[in-house]
Amino acid sequence: MSVSLYSRNVARKLLLIQFLAVMASGLLFSLKDPFWGISAVCGGMAVLLPNMFFMIFAWRHQAHTPAKGRVAWTFAFGEALKVLVTFLLLVVALGGFKVAFLPLIVTWVSVLVVQILAPAVINNKG
């Protein structure tokens, strides 16, 4: 689920939790090899950076009150752009920086799982 569907405070908490997951994964993988730690951080940033850009994009368009049909198209465009940027960051990390595949993918999947599960934990306050 997209980060823009939540309030600003919940979205900020979600991004903070994702950032902490990226750093924890990077530290744990760096115990094996520092290059693996860098690879893990690259995988986590491939999720975190597009989420941050999408959050900014959604909040900028939230200030305006466009017509109902335009909201759906704007949201769809933002989601498509987020997926494309994620894919490009993964390709750059794998092809350009020649990072290790296993820590990259494990961290990428773990941050995606955090993105799905954290809002339920944040919203359940008791």
DSSP 54-118: HHHHHHHHHSS---HHHHHHHHHHHHHHHHHHHHHHHHIIIIIS---HHHHHHHHHHHHHHHHHH
Q: Are residues 61 and 81 in the same domain?
A: no
Question: Are the beta carbons of 44 and 21 closer than 8 angstroms?
Answer: yes
Which pair of tokens denotes residue 53?
């850009």
pTM here is: 0.85
The number of domains in the chain is 2
More confident site: 46 or 60: 46
Q: What's the domain range around 100? A: 68-125
Query: What pLDDT does residue 120 have?
Result: 84
> Does one domain contain both 7 and 33?
yes
- 46/57 same-domain check: yes
At 36, list the tokens. Answer: 């693996």
- What's residue 51's pLDDT? 93
Q: What is the mean pLDDT of residues 37-65?
A: 86
Q: Are residues 17 and 30 in the same domain?
A: yes
